[in-house]
Amino acid sequence: MANHKSAEKRSRQSQVRRLRNKINRTKLKTAVRKIDEAVVAGSVDDAQEALKQAIPVIAKTASKGTIHKKKASRKISRLTKRVNGMAAA
């Protein structure tokens, strides 16, 4: 446990950030899961709609610093590729 005043403050800040990151990460996983479920079900329209809703969530998660911006870009790219490949087939 922290003994100094500044270390106690750091501990409080870390706790708040951890919870905030957890919320953002959960929203991200939920958005990606909806795309996965639509792809597995074979529903092109649902997959495209889920992708439209997921892209801003992924971008916002990166802008908040929860995930790296390149990871967000890679995730968006791969999900878009999956949905577009499903639509083409």
Query: What are the chain's domains?
Result: 5-88 (1.20.58.110)
pLDDT of 37-89, one tens digit each?
Answer: 999 999 999 999 999 999 999 999 999 999 999 999 999 999 999 999 998 87
Determine the pLDDT at residue 79.
97
Determine the pLDDT at residue 13.
97
pLDDT at 1 over 90: no
**CA gap 19, 83 in Å, rounded:** 31
pLDDT of 2-34, one tens digit each?
Answer: 899 999 999 999 999 999 999 999 999 999 999
**CA gap 82, 15 in Å, rounded:** 36
Q: Report yes or no: 44 and 84 within 8 Å, Cβ to Cβ.
A: no
Determine the pLDDT at residue 89.
79
Determine the pLDDT at residue 2.
83
